[in-house]
Structure 1
Amino acid sequence: MFTRLRFWLLPLMLALLASNARAANTGTPSGSKLFIESSLDNARPWVGQEVRLTWTLFFSGTAPQIEDKSQPEHPGIWAREITPENYIDSTPVSKNGVLFRKAVIKQLRLVPLQSGKLAVTNYRLRCLVPQSGEASLDSRNDIESILTAPPALLQARALPKPAPADFSGAVGRFALTVSPENSTVHAGEPLTLSITISGKGNLDTPPPLTVMLPEGLRREASATPSAPSAKGAASSISTRLTLVAAKEGVFRFVPVKLTAFDPETSRYETIASNRIAINVIAGQAATTSAPPQPPLSAVMPPAADTDPLDAVIRPIIVSMAVAVLALIFGLHLRYIERHKRAGVQQKTSEAANPSRPAATSAPATPAKADRKSPRSLRNELYEALKKAGVRNPAGLTSKELGVQLKEKRVKEQTIAEVTELLSAIDHALYAPGEASPEKLETMNRNAARIIAELLKL
């Protein structure tokens, strides 16, 4: 019920703008007129061509709280929603002489997968309008409206026939760019090419690329393409391709081609990447090889005569080192023996003088239980309501919850306390900032009392 605010910030944004519109047009009554419009940026696309569908909400008076009631149906059409944060906004508009505010609430990228008449239907939106005419987080008295968007109709055109043999299936206007990781490599070393397809068209399924390599270069491996990125109507996707040079030389070539259908010219177009140059030099093993080394006996200098003084000093140094090690070892053994002796004496003393049992300490005062979070309180309250016989309390409005509690013969005061507690929890969850410790303490105390009363039913 109270988790249904999918776009809970939107009403706060729209409420300020809507209040300004009412102040500027006091002659227009502040009703709750609501409706949705569906619009396509291209109603006659080619099969495989991407179009954009926009649903716009028109309202007057207080901005409603909204959530999706059902997802749209689109047989024969690939669809993906555009991130809502990119377009939520509100602007004034006049419709048939009446001042409204409009806000784009959802946008879809559509690609027809077959030719003929196709439709996007059955998108429904749930709106909650405050009965008092002022935006509030308390939704107990909100007026609920279910709006159904008009169908969005497409007349998809089949691609011209015959298609070229190397047609990739891509539909749009694209450009190809290739950039090598290095322009100079050794023979036998891998070389990575970064291939980018950009332009206006659907790139969620990357088209196959025709790779053209000169003799002496071979394709080693191709990495998985990265996720496509979009900026406005344009999108792009990158792929890394690994090559290996089998011989030395300078290779100048155009590595990649792509055949796509251009909707703007209604023709199949073959685009080619930029020309690159790769300089392959001799392998590292050949360049770093050294001439044969002379025999070791010819390189090593003859051993020098032994110094008589060194023959006297070396035994003395060895003897001193052995003495130091023996001293360290003896000190270590003495320490271990003394430690064992002290342990035996301590055990003997304890046996002779048994220690008195320690006085039993007073039980510690139980620490104050941590306050439960608003989300935990809401879940516990929902469980108590279910045990009281309420079906799916999370999906009910305040009014529907009150009706079911009355059927269970719950007191009016308890019903009011339940709805007030849920409203306070919603405010703590969705209002900017954090709830104060005093407010959390009050909610925890009220929740414990109300849950205890519900469990008695």
Structure 2
Amino acid sequence: MGFPLLFLCLMGLMIPAAAGAEEAGPAVEPLRLELRLQRARVYPRVPVPVTVTLMVRDAQLRGIGYPRLSHRSLHLGEFSLPAKRELVLEGAAYTAYDFTALVSARQSGSYRLGPAELEAELLSPASGAAAFFGAVESTPVALESQPITLTVLPVPMRGRPDGFSGAVGRFTVSVSVRPREVSAGDPVTVRSVIRGEGAEREFSCPPIEARGFRGYPPVEGKGAGELVCEQLLVPESAGAAEIPPVRISFFDPTAGRFGIAQSEALPLKVRPAAAAVLSDRSDKSDKSDRSDKSDKSDKSDKSDKSDKSDKSDKSDLQRSFWPALSVLAALAAAAWLRRRRRVTPPSEEQRQRWLVAARSAHACGDVGAFYGAAFRLLQRVGGERQGLPAAGWTGPLPEGAFGPELQESLAALLALCDRVRYGQEMPQPERMAADLLLLEKAGGLQRQGKKFDIE
């Protein structure tokens, strides 16, 4: 009887212990690593935050490294500094450390992201005699998360606006021009700014084409969420002009539809060039002189009639005096007008001054100053050949003004001056040396002592 009684007592003690172990459930992991996306479905080139979370419970770590994330065919940015927070997972309290980065894909499709990996050192009390002094031991640990899937949706084909280049996001565009009032042949700067997240990646600078303007290639400037385009336009004739609106199209992933942003058209006042103003003044002078002569003629006729009615007894010599005087006055007025219509050409000293400036700029390697001086010199030579003031001549070179070979070379140099001054082109030193020799020939040309009339 003693043995069965002892057996029953032992069984009674073991049953509560087993029940307690069953109630405690599975052991809680002290370290966990998880990977999650803020959104699992996005559009191409739209960045989405991805977070790697290290969870620690009742453990000490040191030497925690940044996570590594497998992301084939995806663009992944740098992870941020870890953000600490407290959380409860499956009834257990953890201290969590969040590492966040941005991930995006250029093409639509389904992408595998992860697993994420992280290495650290787990600290535990030392064994043996070292434990008496509070020493600890470190054990390397490597944690790995489960992979996740990122779905990149294609941009819809239906409803795409004209000119859509694939930009995804939400953007605005603004345009300004300066100055707003110029003379024909003088350049204006058109500045277009596209703003929005990723604007510097999604757009390029297309050239603005405006009727009545000569355009040069735009220059790009990129910043965070901003694309700046600056372009030079040169009005070719006087009158009211307009810079056309700049229009961009994009797909708005938040709204799930296409959008269009467009700037306002900008009016521009273009004055006549200097040569046209001079010609206009000459025409006004002609009209004024003709009016004066007409008034004089009317007065002379009235005077003749009065003389005939009141003094019929005057001699033939007296009656012919006034017509002769009118003829002399008309001849004097014509001679005065002809002198007014003549333009004195620039002096040799002025041409040599720009030639010296070109030589100095070439010696210093200053491309902008060299081709600026070259343009001024060609402007004076071209003005002389056409009988125009230098400020009123903008090209092209008159046909037959020079020999065939020199004519073609100077025309090419004149076009290059415009590309350097307005299009940011940078010729090589060898080209500058050849152009300097060409300027020496052009600057040394002498006029044959004749004057030129403005037609």
TM-score of the aligned structures, taking structure 1 as reference length: 0.46
State which structure, 1 or 2, has the greater radius of gyration over its C-alpha atoms: 2
Q: Which of the two has greater helix per residue? A: 2
